[in-house]
Amino acid sequence: KAGVTQTPRYLIKTRGQQVTLSCSPISGHRSVSWYQQTPGQGLQFLFEYFSETQRNKGNFPGRFSGRQFSNSRSEMNVSTLELGDSALYLCASSLVQSYDTEAFFGQGTRLTVV
């Protein structure tokens, strides 16, 4: 079966702009989690969506937001981009809540803010 698909793979944005990243989970998976990965901070949890509802949120500013659609596809948005937002953004899908079951990760979107 198809894996987790993230689009786009690479993005270059300017400070102050906003960006929307997309994640299509594995068919049948209802949970989508988003993570930010940087060399200095490692993998940091952003938020998790399950059946269109945000179930948990990490310690990120309100500029980071997300949503999930009825087909379980998810988007995350970052507004007013800062240089420090440059990172690999990963989404993971799982059948149910991600923390207690296998999470399948996409290849990520590498965002560069200049």
Partner 1 sequence: TQLLEQSPQFLSIQEGENLTVYCNSSSVFSSLQWYRQEPGEGPVLLVTVVTGGEVKKLKRLTFQFGDARKDSSLHITAAQTGDTGLYLCAGAGFQKLVFGTGTRLLVSP
Decide if residue 92 touches partner 1 (CB under 8 A): yes
Cβ nearer to partner 1, comparing 69 with 99: 99
Q: Which residues inside 24-83 make contact with partner 1, applying CB under 8 A?
A: 33, 35, 42-45, 48, 55-56, 58
**Number of residues engaging partner 1 in binding (CB under 8 A):** 24
Name residue 67's beta-bridge partners: 75
Q: Is 10 exposed, middle or buried (0-12, 13-18, 19+ CB in 10 A)?
A: exposed
**Binding positions for partner 1, rule: CB under 8 A:** 4, 33, 35, 42-45, 48, 55-56, 58, 90, 92, 97-100, 102-108
